[in-house]
């Protein structure tokens, strides 16, 4: 466990792997905690220093006192790197984690080696849709919303083949702090990183899932087309969390890109 304090807020982070190895920062999706990466970390941490953290209101991190923006989350991610003694790292971001990674590329390119943007977009959804979700969470709670979210996160085949694992992921989402979840929804409602994409200079891999119901492949490909020199990969049969559905193939993609 690595406690990280950012502007008075205590965040739960982890650092795995050899201390002197090349560093990789993993940034997870809305409604998940750092355990989202467990199966990938098992592979990467053999020869890399792997960092990850829980966003405010997720996992063991404290919840923020007020609204959040993607820039706030980017600052927190950099604080995790600093606390771990990592001046520079490869950064892998999935969904809202991808937007946090783009913010790092924009604000602190000197701290970024290679970039992976997975199942994400320059703009995810509309402000109206996110605020409707915030209202729904306030009215009925995450527990009521969780089954529908699972359909967007995971392919139909994976849900059918792994009912017990699916139940655990649904529980993770349902137990997320509702105000913390809503604060991250507000960050997504206000976020448009279209201009940031065009200015990315780090070698970038973009990953999409063919069965992703949250950030469909066409949306992800549209973002990829904005990034100079990008490599785009479509994972067939995978949903919004390919690091969970097919961690071996996902880790292989990361290794091939990160070197």
Tell me the three-class secondary structure of 68-130, residue by residue: CCHHHHHHHHHHHHHHCCCCCEEEEEECHHHHHHHHHHHHCHHHEEEEEEECCCCCCCCHHHH
pLDDT, residue 201, reads 96
List Cβ neighbours of 15 (8 Å cut-off, separation of 6 or more). Answer: 2, 49, 50, 51, 84
CB count in 10 Å sphere of residue 248: 10
d(CA 65, CA 174): 21
pLDDT in the model for residue 66: 83
- Burial-class residue 3 by CB neighbours within 10 Å (0-12, 13-18, 19+): exposed
Confidence of residue 137 (pLDDT cuts 50, 70, 90): very high
Closest C-alpha among 224, 201, 192 to residue 109? 201
**44-88 pLDDT per residue, tens:** 999 999 999 999 999 999 998 888 999 999 999 999 999 999 999
Report the pLDDT value the prediction gives residue 235, as an integer from 0 to 100: 99
Residue indicated by tokens 């209202």: 135
Where does the pLDDT of residue 98 fall: very low under 50, low under 70, confident under 90, or very high at 90 and above? very high
**Structural domain containing residue 91:** 2-258
Total structural domains in the chain? 1
Mean pLDDT for the chain overall: 97
151 pLDDT exceeds 90?
yes
Condensed to tens digits (0 to 9), the pLDDT of residues 192-213 reads 999 999 999 999 999 999 999 9
Report the pLDDT value the prediction gives residue 225, as an integer from 0 to 100: 98
Q: How far is CA 178 from the centre of its chain?
A: 18
24 contacts 44 by C-beta, under 8 angstroms:
yes
pLDDT of residue 165: 98
Task: Select from 6, 15, 7 the least CA-distant residue to 86.
Answer: 15
- The stretch 111-124 carries a mean pLDDT of 98
Name the β-bridge partners of 5.
10
CATH number of the domain that 114 lies in? 3.40.50.1820
Is pLDDT of 147 > 90?
yes
């Amino acid at each position: 466990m690595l406690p990280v304090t950012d502007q008075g807020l205590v965040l739960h982070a982890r650092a795995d792997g050899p201390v002197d190895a090349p560093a990789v920062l993993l940034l997870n999706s809305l409604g998940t905690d750092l355990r989202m990466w467990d199966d990938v970390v098992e592979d990467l941490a053999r020869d890399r220093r792997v960092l990850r953290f829980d966003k405010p209101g997720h996992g063991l991190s404290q919840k923020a006192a007020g609204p959040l923006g993607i820039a706030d989350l980017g600052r927190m991610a950099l604080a995790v790197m600093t606390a771990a003694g990592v001046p520079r790292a490869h950064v892998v971001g999935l969904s809202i984690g991808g937007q946090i990674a783009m913010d790092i590329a924009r604000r602190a390119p000197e701290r970024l080696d290679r970039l992976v943007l997975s199942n994400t977009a320059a703009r995810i959804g509309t402000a109206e849709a996110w605020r409707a979700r915030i209202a729904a969470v306030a009215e009925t709670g995450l527990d009521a919303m969780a089954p529908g979210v699972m359909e967007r996160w995971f392919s139909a085949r994976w849900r059918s083949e792994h009912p017990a694992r699916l139940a655990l992921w649904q529980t993770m989402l349902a137990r997320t702090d509702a105000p913390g979840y809503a604060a991250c929804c507000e960050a997504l409602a206000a976020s448009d990183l279209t201009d940031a994409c065009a200015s990315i200079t780090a070698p970038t891999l973009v990953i999409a899932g063919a069965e992703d119901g949250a950030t469909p492949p066409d949306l992800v490909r549209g973002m990829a087309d904005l990034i100079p020199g990008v490599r785009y990969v479509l994972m067939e049969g995978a949903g919004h969390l390919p690091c969970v559905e097919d961690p071996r193939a996902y880790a292989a993609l990361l290794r091939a890109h990160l070197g």
